[in-house]
Structure 1
């Protein structure tokens, strides 16, 4: 604000206060101090009101210019890539990456191709933890950040991540499992109903036909937490289909990585990588796990 503008607003306030003091009829019992106080208040209001109105013409002009400005295109959706030298991974941890990738590849986790372990080194270097399957899976989608030419879709056709702490989409979960089953599941006539939410819990009823069998599921869903009744129901039907593939999953802090693997793969991978139920992560057959109610801890 310019000095001349400040003086103008101040003068307006003083004149208003004086007019209020000398020309407004106060009651006979109002003392001089009270009159001065109320007059000063009115002068301040007048100065503030004038200051507020002063900027309106400029605001109108700015809005007019903004409306006349040529419209820009949508914000750039170009991916962000790492700049500068890549994080370095020690030789021993490089060997761990190669070993874990090799074991997972041998049992069909990756499809249609196996990722080059060297593409994973930079992402693993940023993670201060021992190299296990959850390390590899968690950085697959981030590989293109370090290597723009890499395409994670070339390795993840046999993988799906179901987030355990996000909005739940039962139809999408069913579609993922049907895709992973590779023809082992035929699911149709899907009807999904949600009841009234009470304390973040939502009654969920799902009716569908799975490989010719009418299946109905009813469980207490949750706004932000994953339930696994769908996974268990479809995993048991895939087992019964004897397609040679079973649903396996590996839980992380984000949720469950799910894959369709040949029989014996879970046991073989856990043995080769020394993974046990008490380990940070461990492969498990989905049908062997009891269905989990929403919000329960794994």
Structure 2
């Protein structure tokens, strides 16, 4: 008997994930299709990658593209200006000032609607970060104070949303030469400074049991509040991924959903346990 191997392309994987969640709707599907069509480069171009991020409960899906700035900036700017009707001056300015090699674009789907934005990965000095946080003086002072206390920590990315509720995305990385216990408690110190609820007391034990060596801190902030404070582990083991999902109340349906995405993906990029405005969540990033 002849067998046929079906190949699922990137936009099909994205739409499958959307339609397999409670976020499925025609407007959301149309938004995803348009975003992909507007930002993607021809398939023969090697300078781009797509990721799919999902919370453990399938209540937030994020589609993310990253590639070389010089090949993507024109397409991204055209999409933001022509389709979303937003001013891209800040993106153009930071591109000139920071000269990032990579540029990211993302679209986030959640029960309240759709959000989209941009992201600049790469090492960013805390002085540069504080300059773009200048309108949020309180958080600027907190992050600057934390950076001065833990001088070997780094900022590894910054982004912003185009939504009416302006969101800043800040990613920090702890010093890998220090113990995971030290990294964890330094992250908790920032958590306290930002007045974010603490994490379950046995989370550190989970990190130690699964031999985590380095933690990232991922922040989503408005000028008024912290929407998400995440502790991120890059290239996690499947056992760690499952342990963190179970920590955030994982159902059989949720597990089946992530298993399907896992089977379609190239690799797991990171897993993150988060304190959010909707409570404790675990989010997983898959490279498509």
Q: Same fold (TM over 0.5)?
A: no
Q: Which has the higher strand share?
A: 2
Q: Return the structure number with greater relative CO, CA threshold 8 A, min gap 6.
A: 2
**Normalised-by-shorter TM-score class:** under 0.3
Q: Which of the two has higher C-alpha Rg?
A: 1
TM-score by length of 2: 0.26
TM-score by length of 1: 0.26
